[in-house]
Amino acid sequence: MNGSLVVDDARYDRLFDVASEARAMGNSVPFDLAEALNGLRTRGPVLAGGVRDLLGLDVRSPYEHPLPTFTALSFAACDRAFRENERFTSYAYNDMAGMRQMGSILLNKIGDEHRRLRAATQSMFLKPASMNWWRPNWIDETVEGLLDRIGHLDRTDLNMTLCARLPLHVVSRGVGLRGEDALTFRDHLLKSMGSHGASPEEKRHSAAETGRMLRELVAARRATPGEDVVSGLLAADFRTADGTVRKLDDDEVLGFSRHLLLAGGGTSWRQLGIAIHALLAERRFWEACLADRALVADAIEESMRWNATGPVFPRLVLEDTELEGVAIPANSRVDVCLGAANRDPARWDDPDRFDIFRRKRAHLGFGLGPHLCLGQHVARQMMSVAINGLLDRFPAMRLDPDAPPQQLTGGLEQRGMSAIPVVLR
């Protein structure tokens, strides 16, 4: 187990605080976002105006150019916007400077171009790979090391000691970075995108550093392949638009790796915290999972329906269309509010309540359609192994009654727990 996983480092506190992350991105939400989105949905399934304006948020826009904007709120509207990705396209990300500098990534591609790149990469992220490759190589060992670290403690904040560290180190090592480089790379990656108050000089320096670290990794794996994602990408066959087959070039490998490290090190951290806190906040659910471990998977899915860490996604409409009876002209944006869709009472009974026993229905926590989250199965494995590990080692664990109240906090596009203080025994 690498020492950087368990060492005390002030960068964890700086990089993995949900509220400060939102302030740095300029999209903090100072009220109950779920309640506010519910209120918008009662006005209609699709509303004219962007979600920022509709909620009255005085926050920084991530876009460089103003466009007519609409907000999708019902399950039916969001489901269709996700499925029809060649009409409601992920080209919306191309108007974000931070996302453009990521390079060639799946997120900003549609149609055949997206399908061909995804086909070359997805075998490493399917469910069998998450169970038989990611878990034995990185997930089990990382969870064990983190739980060993807190095993002698009476109290801890699981947000920092488990949730933040687990995906950061699993995904970094899975890509091929050394464990000791995981925190350094993420720090530079976020600064390169302008997060955490980075100056223009810091942005340029950090962008150069992330490029250097990944190019060195790619060069090393070209010379000596390993058991990691970069090696898999270099070996993959990529079918071009004219039907010929080639290997991915360095820029394609770098773009994919950079995007995976950004998303994988962030979303699972926050979602794991949401799931753990929900189980402990209503003790009967924790006790139920102790008695029947099959319920852990249900708890993870319910946490993603109830409070998905990414409640809003943008789409760019390429042609005149309509959505739930609302006319949307070409070159408009649509804010797809899966946070509202996942609480649509037309689909779920008592949707504002966390309930691991509710009837199973597909949710939008991982998105849907062509851009369904590539890493969803790896994320589920990390959360499952972590929660089962806590149940095994600390069955009496409970929220710390002496700690300050915790809350779901963060920004419009990223939500998480302010803290998860627990008494372990």
Q: What is the mean pLDDT of residues 235-252?
A: 94
Those residues with Cβ within 8 angstroms of residue 196's Cβ, 6 or more apart along the chain or in another chain: 14, 15, 20, 21, 24, 190
Domain count of the chain?
1
pLDDT confidence of residue 8: 85
Structural domain contains residue 110:
yes
Structural domain contains residue 78:
yes
pLDDT tens profile 86-133: 999 999 999 998 788 787 788 889 999 999 999 999 999 999 999 999
* Cα–Cα nearest to 182, from 136, 160, 213: 213
Q: What is the mean pLDDT of residues 373-384?
A: 97
Q: Which residues pair with 398 in a beta bridge?
A: 423
Structural domain contains residue 1:
no
Q: Distance of alpha carbon 389 from its chain centroid, rounded?
A: 22
Structural domain contains residue 11:
no
**Structure tokens belonging to residue 84:** 């029809």
Residue 1 confidence class, pLDDT cut points 50, 70, 90: low
Structural domain contains residue 24:
no
**Structure tokens belonging to residue 166:** 């687990």
Burial 320-349 (b: 16+ CB within 10 A, else e): ebebeebebeeebbbbbbbbbbbbbeebbe
* Cα–Cα nearest to 56, from 37, 77, 42: 37
pLDDT tens profile 20-62: 888 888 889 999 999 999 999 999 999 999 999 999 998 888 8
CB 45 within 8 A of CB 75: no
CB 37 within 8 A of CB 337: yes
Structural domain contains residue 21:
no
Q: Residue 179 sits in which domain range?
A: 30-423
- What is the value of pTM for the model shown? 0.96
pLDDT confidence of residue 102: 80
CB 80 within 8 A of CB 358: no
**Structure tokens belonging to residue 422:** 């627990």
Structural domain contains residue 323:
yes
Structural domain contains residue 190:
yes
Q: What are the distances in angstroms from CA 147 to CA 166, 385, 425?
A: 10, 11, 13
pLDDT confidence of residue 7: 84
pLDDT tens profile 146-177: 999 999 999 999 999 999 999 999 999 999 99
CB 244 within 8 A of CB 238: no
State in Å, rounded, how far the first CA of the chain is from the last one. Answer: 25
pLDDT tens profile 183-234: 999 999 999 887 767 888 999 999 999 999 999 999 999 999 999 999 999 9
CB 315 within 8 A of CB 332: no
pLDDT tens profile 246-289: 999 999 999 999 999 999 888 999 999 999 999 999 999 999 99
Q: What is the mean pLDDT of residues 390-419?
A: 96
| 74 Rama class: left (phi>0) / alpha (psi -120 to 50) / beta | beta
Residue 400 confidence class, pLDDT cut points 50, 70, 90: very high
Give me the CATH number covering residue 100.
1.10.630.10
Radius of gyration, alpha carbons of the chain: 21
Q: Which residues pair with 327 in a beta bridge?
A: 322
Angle between helices 165-175 and 140-150 (to 10 degrees): 150
